[in-house]
Structure 1
Amino acid sequence: MTVAVTNEDAEPTSGCQKPAAIGARRKIGFAFSSSDEAPGFLASRSFSTSSGNLVPITDDVDDAFLSHEVLNDEDDEKPRMDPLRVKQLMETWRKAARRARTTYVDPWDEFNIHEYPEQRAKRYRYSAIRKQWTEDIVEVRIHPDSFARGAMRECYRLKKCSAHGSSRDWTSNYVAKKYICQVDRRVLFDDVRLQMDAKLWAEEFNRYNPPKKIDIVQMCVIELIDVKGSPLYHLEHFIEGKYIKYNSNSGFVSNAARLTPQAFSHFTFERSGHQMMVVDIQVSRYAD
């Protein structure tokens, strides 16, 4: 699952505001499915916070906090699916993928983005696990007119070329977000680092097999290297749908009857030893 338009862009306003301080809490969007009917996983574990240090989320919680019993082989054995059943399921998914490709209608087809020139962009991606940045060159087409504006950034429709051997695919839709007011370039990179850290927390949340799993949208920075001034944008996959805010960094909690957003925020607070919390969560109705 993926995330949609996130951060401050959901509530259009005007004017220039100072960007959030480095390391401050920011809103993160994520997607999950169906309704939240069973929050039982919230009580499945209790954590000690006697150590003042942030717990590495790649650690095993059992080793870090819990005294646990060693399971015998019978208890630890996982059920295995019949190979024939696996083959049948794989074929079912292949057929579904073929049908999806033949019936796909590009929601941005009317904007004729293919008519705009190709541009080279340097893409900067961050790995929250390795704590490293990687760079590569990609080709993009960007619509010159913004289609949405938030308190701090405005959004542009963008298509990125995906090369598969000798073929070139321009079907993937992205949202390029540009700061309205001039900011230091490190602000964009800090935004990406914060969001990708939140994505890692979502993966840790899913390790406990909650009723509804979540995912944080992938975000990177692109720099249009052939354009005067080499402007920088945040880049995210486009996901259709209207977005609902479920909580904020100022204490707001939505009355909407969804449990997963609040459970995730609470989980990050407890799992980090009360050192941090992922808040300002927005969810796409389409992905919901």
Structure 2
Amino acid sequence: RRPSAAAAAAPGGERGCDPERRFDCAERAVKATYDPARDRWDLTLINVAVEAAFAQGSMRTAHHMRDLTAPESQDRFVLKLSLDPAAATQSQHYFDDAKMQMVAQTYADEYNSLGPPKRVEFIAAYVLQLVDRPGRPHCAAERFVPGEYVKYNNNWD
């Protein structure tokens, strides 16, 4: 369920909405997308709706998110928000991780052009700044991939 157009345009923060309800709250975010071909970041102001966390790791919580400015068939994402509020305002590691993922995809594209028996693909990664929240935290976002997720590593080793 998508919020109404009026709700999508409303600023976040103290919005009088219930974040425990699915996609009931809309807020503004700046989406940073890395373009490896031009070695630059493209910034776009978008409206998002973020659910309460559905999972928690040692460093971040994971939230279903909808990009309310994207076509409905392309609007589902997973947002990863730091458990440490200080880390969420220190954005460099988010930008480094997203850039690494996008550069890795350029190598995967080159490999895939050789016609391998199995193709390699990296999920596009973005950096979001939730501008209506206190401290304007940064977070990571990736397209939602349906299915069961099994994690084979951790953030410490």
With normalisation by structure 2, the TM-score equals 0.74
In structure 2, what is the Cα distance between the partners aligned to 1:171 and 1:210?
Answer: 28
1:75-224 alignment runs, 5 A limit: 112-114=21-23, 116-143=24-51, 145-162=52-69, 169=72, 172-181=75-84, 182-183=86-87, 184-224=90-130
In structure 1, what is the Cα distance between the partners aligned to 2:146 and 2:21?
Answer: 18
| Percent identical residues | 29
1:113 Cα deviation (Å)? 2.4
Contact kept? 1:220, 1:234, Cα under 8 Å: yes
Gaps spanning 5+ residues in structure 1: where? 1-110, 249-288
Alpha-carbon RMSD across the aligned residues, in angstroms, is: 2.5
Contact kept? 1:161, 1:170, Cα under 8 Å: no
Q: Residue 216 of structure 1: SS of its match in structure 2?
A: coil
Task: Name whichever structure is richer in helix by fraction.
Answer: 1
**Larger radius of gyration between Structure 1 and Structure 2:** 1
Gaps spanning 5+ residues in structure 2: where? 1-19
The equivalent residue for 1:61 is none
The equivalent residue for 1:11 is none
Cα distance change of structure 1 residues 210 and 246 upon mapping to structure 2, 3 Å threshold: farther
Q: Residue 32 of structure 2: SS of its match in structure 1?
A: strand
Cα distance change of structure 1 residues 239 and 209 upon mapping to structure 2, 3 Å threshold: same
State whether structure 2 residue 134 is matched by structure 1 residue 231.
no
Contact kept? 1:160, 1:170, Cα under 8 Å: no
1:1-16 alignment runs, 5 A limit: none
The equivalent residue for 2:14 is none
1:156 Cα deviation (Å)? 0.8
The equivalent residue for 1:73 is none
Cα distance change of structure 1 residues 225 and 170 upon mapping to structure 2, 3 Å threshold: farther
In structure 2, what is the Cα distance between the partners aligned to 1:131 and 1:236?
Answer: 20
Structure 1 segments of 4 or more deviating over 3 A? 243-248
Contact kept? 1:162, 1:170, Cα under 8 Å: no
Tell me the alpha carbon deviations over residues 57-102 of structure 1, each in whole angstroms, 9 at most, x when there is no partner: xxxxxxxxxxxxxxxxxxxxxxxxxxxxxxxxxxxxxxxxxxxxxx
- Tell me which amino acid in the other structure corresponds to 1:238: F
Farther off after superposition, 190-199 or 176-185: 176-185
Q: Which of structures 1 and 2 has the larger relative contact order (alpha carbons within 8 angstroms, sep 6+)?
A: 1
1:141 Cα deviation (Å)? 0.5
